[in-house]
Structure 1
Amino acid sequence: MTEPRLETVATEDLSEHDAHQAEALVRAVFGSEFEPHDWVHALGGTHVLARLDGLVVAHAAAVPRLLVHDGKEIDGRYVEAVAVDSDRRGTGLGRIVLDRLEAVIEDEGALGVLNSLPGAIGFWEGRGWVRWRGLLGVVGNGEDPRPPADGENVMVFRPPSSIDVEGTLCVNNRVGPRW
């Protein structure tokens, strides 16, 4: 396989062409499960693109989100729109894109957060992500935090000792699923 060209780019610097290619890739991978608001969730942060022969064949984004852990605000980066072209799965493209994205999260001193598909939890754990076992909530919506609901497999990246994964984690609200 030809070596992919990796690019790290902020949403505001993402060309319209690259944005369309990345969105089309993610939609092709997730199909009808990928709602219109899901691409919007992937905007406003940092994108890592892997390109082969000019085509975007892998993508992942980390978007700033306010997190509150046990009453204390922390800087979060929510991982969104992770996808590898179906013809290139198993070639290491996902690994190299995520290596770069996780380095960005660490360099920014933020806490990485994502909501894993059930079948991918072991994959993320192998990369240093830890399942959130405590309560989950939304900042300022008036609801009490609760245990994770079905479909909420919230994970955090290499949580520092100051983060208790059995504590309470709240996130700012958004259109669509909160996590």
Structure 2
Amino acid sequence: MTNTITFNVRHTHQLTQQQIGALRTLLDVVYEGEFSPEDWDHALGGLHTLAWQGAQIIGHAAVVQRAVLVGDQPYRGGYLEAMGVHPDWQRRGVGRQLMRRVNTQVERGYDLGLLSPSDEGRPLYAGTGWLDWPGERRSFTPWGIIPTPDEEVMVYGRADLGLDLTQPLTCDYRSGDVW
């Protein structure tokens, strides 16, 4: 058996039912059973970067489009969801390879990238160019714009945008975790 890892990108609609099942199983393993139905829903409808070892999916990162405001300026955000590498393959560079591909997708298709980091994932994201958002974080909701001070957000932006990270950052509303 070879240790060669290959990567490909597929939109949700291009994934087979077998791949969707394998992906859901991978995320349940990676997130130790804490990957909710809302988390799964958030990961669908965008681009899936898949890491393969033979016929097995060993890593995944989804980028889905979200509307965000920086201050009062609207941007098209590429939001990273369901990032994970099978425990047997962690600390072997698979996550870094996934993030290099995610960064390229963000650079080519979105104004900026956004993610809500786990403590375990923060060093990987920071090491691939993502920055903590120190400004106020908030969300559009059915009840108006609501501050989300307990949510941590990291961003990856094009230098030409000149983003002011001290401005409020507002995301669109969704079920489950808004960030």
After TM superposition, is the score higher than 0.5? yes
1:140 Cα shift?
5.2
**Paired letter, 1:169:** L
SS of aligned partner of 1:60: strand
What's the counterpart of residue 122 of structure 1? 123
User: Would the aligned equivalents of 1:7 and 1:49 in 2 still touch at CA under 8 Å?
Assistant: yes
Cα displacement (A) at 1:2: 2.2
Q: How many residues align?
A: 177
Is the CA contact (8 Å cut-off) linking 1:57 and 1:84 kept in structure 2?
A: yes
The CA deviation at 1:106 is: 0.8
Cα distance change, pair 5–122 in 1 and its aligned pair in 2 (3 A): closer
Deviates more, 1:56-65 or 1:93-102: 93-102
Residues 93-142 of structure 1, C-alpha deviations (whole Å, 9 max, x = no match):
11111211211111113311000012432321111101011111112544
Match of 1:157 in 2: 156
Identity %: 29
Question: Is the 8 Å Cα contact of residues 70 and 168 (structure 2) preserved in structure 1?
Answer: yes
Task: Report the Cα distance in structure 2 between the residues aligned to 1:119 and 1:18, rounded to whole angstroms.
Answer: 26
Asked if the contact 1:118–1:153 (Cα under 8 Å) also holds between the matched residues in 2, the reply is no
Would the alpha carbon gap of residues 6 and 88 (structure 1) be closer, same or farther in structure 2, given more than 3 Å must change?
Answer: same
SS in 1 for 2:22: helix
Are 1:8 and 1:48, in contact at CA under 8 Å, matched by a contact in 2? yes
Question: Matches of 2:111 and 2:145 in 1, distance apart?
Answer: 25
1:68 and 1:139 in contact (8 A); partners too: no
Match of 1:88 in 2: 89
| 1:38, distance to aligned residue in structure 2 (A) | 0.5
In the aligned structure 2, how far is the partner of 1:123 from the partner of 1:52? Answer: 21
CA distance in 1, matches of 2:120, 2:32: 17
The alpha-carbon distance between structure 1 residues 159 and 92, as it changes in their structure 2 partners (threshold 3 A), is: same
SS at match of 2:115: strand
CA contact (8 A) 1:65 1:76 kept: yes
* Aligned counterpart, 1:31: 32
User: 8 Å contact 1:59–1:97 — kept in the other structure?
Assistant: yes
For structure 1, the 5+ residue unaligned runs are none
Decide whether the 8 Å contact of 2:28 with 2:35 is kept in 1. yes
In structure 2, the residue matched to 1:52 is 53
Q: CA RMSD of the aligned region, Å? A: 1.7
Q: Quick one: distance in 2 between partners of 1:49 and 1:144?
A: 35
Q: Report the secondary structure of 1:139's partner residue.
A: strand
Moved more, 109-118 or 153-162: 153-162
Q: Which moved more, 1:96-105 or 1:75-84?
A: 96-105
**Structure 1 pair 87/140, CA: closer, same or farther in 2 (3 Å)?**
closer
Q: Give the distance between the partners of 2:148 and 2:24, measured in 1 at CA.
A: 32
Instruction: Check 1:106–1:42 CA distance in 2 against 1; reply closer, same or farther (3 A cut).
Output: same
Cα deviation for residue 14 of structure 1 reads 1.4
